Chain A
Amino acid sequence: MAPPAALGAVSHTRGTLDDGGGTTSRDRIVHNRAVKTLVFIPAWNEEHSIEAVIADAREHLPRTDLLVIDDGSTDRTAARARRAGAMVASLPFNQGVGAAHQTGYIFALAHGYEVCGQLDGDGQHPASELARLLAAVESGEADLVVGSRFAGDSDYRASRARRGGQRLFSMLVSSATGQSFTDTTSGMRALNHRTMGQFARRYSSEFAEVESLQQAVRAGLTVRELPVEMLPRTEGHSFITPLVSAFYIFKTLVVLLVGQLRPRTTGPDGRP
């Protein structure tokens, strides 16, 4: 259960990081620590939105390295991302979002990044919001910070069915972890070295966002949700139909149940 006080404290830093001027003392403290930060963007056939996502990240996260993880795209996603100035890691074939995320964690660990953040490639995640999540991880407040559309009084609009589905997922994950979550499918996250290590070793290939929350909590990592604003999808559309939703819910149940039975994974030093 995230104490409301902690959420309030981080919301407070929002203004200082959002104005982008880098003039406040808070900003200097954060950036003078020179925390080596990677922001990666998993993308599968996002050629229409990827350049805008990279430009947004360049503007609001100027001190981070950008990596696009092209999950076997068949369009020009990789070429456009490179043109926009990001590093691009191309998976040879589509492996699913879980494998794409894990590629980011493996790369970040191998290259000594201390903190990493993730943005979706479809343009739903404003980079300025991720900056707040990264700041929360850098300050040591949590090992994994997830941006939630539903935690605060966000005006993210979703259909009633989608909200209902989200609520059900939240209920399932909350009861499995004993910690309250409001947005279990959010792909906007920031995490530190410990969490990267945990996820690089093992990461769900089926239902990455949902199962990784459970995995992190069970590994003893501190997981926090912060309210964020997200934009409606600009390109493409969600493929969630009632039948698919029902299947997802069933799958989530099975995945979480299996997750509960899994041995808690810790590192060689006994820490996550």
Chain B
Amino acid sequence: MRVLLATTEPVVRLTPQARIIAAVLALAFMLLILDLIRRDRLLERYSIVWFLLGLAMLAGAAFPILLELLARALGVRDVTIALFSAVLLLLLGLALNFSVIASRQARQITRLAQQSAIETIEQPGELESTRPEIDRG
């Protein structure tokens, strides 16, 4: 039993230098998000999750106990590995979420294209000239 407990006790922790860098990066990241919203490059609805991620980074840098609790919960001795695992899973989830959003938007674009195509039946010959200007992604 003592052996088991010993293995779950985190032994590798973040150095103060790493924590300072993480805190600075987290602040810079949150500023970047705010700037993107301010310049209308990012919709609020997509910014919230990134902002929360920045806050979590800052919290992790400021209170190392949080990371140690995370490492204990995951059963790893190395705090950095716990950090990497959590971040990787989070990014995986986000990537999947964006694929779902992209799929929904593709369907919506197709519907719009179909409706617009049906409308072109009524107005013969006008679209050919505008065609080449449309960006084909």
Contacts and interface: CB of A to CB of B under 8 A. Distances in A.
Nearest to B119: A89
A227 B79 CA distance: 67
Contacts of A76: 128
B131 A95 contact: no
A103 interface: yes
7 contacts: A70-B117, A88-B121, A89-B120, A90-B127, A92-B127, A93-B136, A103-B114
B104 to A, nearest CB: 13
Contacts of A78: 127-128
A91 B136 contact: no
A68 B71 CA distance: 62
B128 A92 contact: no
Contacts of A87: 121
B105 interface: no
B74 to A, nearest CB: 32
Given A74-B131, A99-B110, A205-B110, A92 B116 contact: yes
B127 A99 contact: no
Interface residues of A, number: 25
Given A79-B128, A82-B124, A99-B110, A94 B136 contact: yes
B125 A90 contact: no
Nearest to B103: A205
Given A92-B134, A94-B136, A110 B128 contact: no
Contacts of A99: 110, 113-114
Interface string A102-139: 11001100100000000000000000000000000000
Contacts, number: 56
A213 B41 CA distance: 43
B118 interface: yes
Interface string B98-137: 0000000011001001101110110011011001101010
A92 B125 CA distance: 13
A213 to B, nearest CB: 21
A162 to B, nearest CB: 29
Nearest to B109: A95
Given A78-B127, A79-B128, A99-B113, A93 B121 contact: no
Most buried by B among A92, A107, A110: A92
B136 A102 contact: no
Interface residues of B, number: 18
Contact of B110 (A67, A70, A95): A95
A262 to B, nearest CB: 15
Nearest to A78: B128
A69 to B, nearest CB: 7
Contact of A102 (B114, B116, B128, B134): B114
A88 B117 CA distance: 8
B118 A95 contact: no
Most buried by A among B113, B120, B136: B113
B48 to A, nearest CB: 30
A87 B120 CA distance: 9
Given A87-B121, A90-B127, 5 more contacts: A67-B121, A74-B131, A99-B114, A107-B118, A205-B107
A110 B118 contact: yes
Contacts of B110: 95, 99, 102, 205
Contacts of B124: 82, 88
Contacts of A103: 114, 117-118
Contacts of B106: 205
A107 B125 CA distance: 19
Given A93-B134, A205-B110, A106 B127 contact: no
B128 A106 contact: no
Nearest to A205: B110
Interface in B30-77: none
Given A78-B128, A82-B124, A205-B110, A69 B134 contact: no
